[in-house]
Structure 1
Amino acid sequence: MKILIRAFSTLALALAIGGSAFAQEYVKGEVVKVDAKQKKLTIKHEPLTNLDMPAMTMVFVVAEDGMIEKVKAGQAIEFAADRVNGRITVTDIK
């Protein structure tokens, strides 16, 4: 019985966190500018359907400082973005 309760508790927690915890939507983009000091990337990207945004060029903050070091201007990337604390944020880069 305790195992069943623990399993349901884990499931409830996972559902409370949201669907993005299970599958992130990756889109193609091109890094236009890297601003390491401000921890921001300017990316020309395909539509971000999870954010209901058309294709455009825009500035994103990054979720982790190390992401800035992974990219350079002119580089093609696949990335995931979401709203984090009210800001549109790059949450992962492939």
Structure 2
Amino acid sequence: MISLSFPAFAQHEAHTGHVTATRGVPLTEGTVKKIDGTAGEIVIQHGQLDSIGMPPMTMAFGVADKSWLTKLKAGDKIRFAAEIKGGNAIVSRYEMAK
């Protein structure tokens, strides 16, 4: 897993309009690799995340809704919005990929 202490995140955190406008955040395709219910995280292999300036990689995300941890499983293909809240990358919404 990757620690999210990039300077770009600190700069992006100042752009609160991006953080609160969940519906305006573009969706990115990804594959769920692991669900960690104890940590409240989903590990996703994802493409470019323009909304937070992140290149393609596999990393852990917090979730906006903890119920998602029981709805998703490893191997699921999703489209999701990622945002930075409180200095942490989170999945703010998702849909199953078609």
TM-score using structure 2 length: 0.73
Deviation at 1:21, TM superposition (A): 4.4
Higher relative contact order (CA 8 A, sep 6+): 2
Q: Which runs of 5+ in 1 are unaligned?
A: 1-16
Q: Which runs of 4+ in 1 moved over 3 A?
A: none
Q: Which runs of 5+ in 2 are unaligned?
A: 1-15
Q: Which residue of 2 aligns with 1:29?
A: 30
Which structure has the larger Rg?
A: 1
Q: Which residue of 2 aligns with 1:74?
A: 75
**What is the distance in 2 between the residues matched to 1:57 and 1:40?**
13
1:14-25 aligned at under 5 Å gives the runs 18-19=17-18, 20-25=21-26
Aligned-residue RMSD, C-alpha: 1.4
Aligned residues: 78
Q: Which residue of 2 aligns with 1:56?
A: 57
Is residue 33–residue 44 contact of structure 2 (8 Å, CA) maintained in 1? Answer: yes
Q: Which residue of 2 aligns with 1:40?
A: 41
Q: Higher helix fraction: Structure 1 or Structure 2?
A: 1
